[in-house]
Amino acid sequence: MPLEKSASGKLLVDRDGALTTVTLNRPDIHNALDRELSAELNAAVKQINVDRDCRVVVFRGAGDTFCAGDDIKEFNAWKPEDGYWQVRLYQETVNVIEDLVPITIAAVDGVCTGGGLELTLVCDFVVATDRSRWGMPEINWDITPGWGGTSRLGKFAGRRKTKEWNLIGGLFDVTTADRHGLVNRVCNPEHLDGNVDALIEVILAKNPTTLRTTKYFLNKSAELNALQGLWFEGAPQRTPFGEGIRDFVEPESRRSRSALANSLWQA
């Protein structure tokens, strides 16, 4: 399908076969999320959620930046009750993204702060450039995180760093983000697209049923203890044995998936 531009032009959605790319399109202000863009992003991910042909979703920002989170200047025009409803919308959006059947990838360049960082927390993979800047600066503007900065973040980085980043509000580099489990791959800006494309190729080479079942196991087990999580792995197989087993037994077939997986990001 051709590139779709939202009514405001602040969100771009490109559907190309099994791949959907969602681009936040306000590069002049680091793709900050105003109410209009937030609503359009919410509608877009709900649409993807029922698209059975989609297997991979890439979230990215226009220009040389990912997302700076909320458009703080807009808060001056809000009514007292607007904050409550906006946070509910944000939380619904990231909950839908986290539970999507397709594999989700955040392609991060430049600024990745506040809601931008929170968006990456619900993606399956994060590929980031070495110039990206991360942080949870909400406390500096007398606001609190609304969609994962104090809850989901701790599951990646632990309580100590999560408190530091939220209570101090300073920015940190991608090396720190990598060290604390926020990214999968760090690369030069000129190699960002290539690294994302290589990951997409590996994902699309997998059996779709096995992939979505494994993602379901991983997501649900993350909220359980180890013994409870084993229940998912012990449940009856959702995929008939077939192509994957043949790929293992027959060396010529095996090279396709395994070679792609083993060669990913080796450089």
DSSP designation for 41: H
DSSP designation for 94: H
Contact 85, 165 (CB under 8 A): no
Q: Which of 138, 164, 233, 250 is catalytic?
A: 138
Would you state the structure tokens that stand for residue 114, as one six-digit string? 């506040």
The one-letter amino acid at 151: S
State the DSSP H helix or E strand holding residue 167, giving kind and residue range, or none if neither: helix 152-168
The one-letter amino acid at 181: G
Task: Please indicate whether residue 40 is annotated as part of the active site.
Answer: no
Q: Which of 118, 201, 243, 252 is catalytic?
A: 118
Task: Please indicate whether residue 138 is annotated as part of the active site.
Answer: yes
CA distances from 45 to 20, 93, 101 (A): 10, 7, 11
Q: What are phi and psi of 189, to 5 degrees?
A: -55, -35
Q: Give the integer Cα–Cα distance in Å for 194 and 180.
A: 24
- Three-class SS state of 16: strand
Contact 120, 152 (CB under 8 A): no
Would you state the structure tokens that stand for residue 134, as one six-digit string? 């991360």
Q: Give the integer Cα–Cα distance in Å for 173 and 157.
A: 14
Contact 30, 60 (CB under 8 A): no
Kindly list the catalytic residues. 118, 138
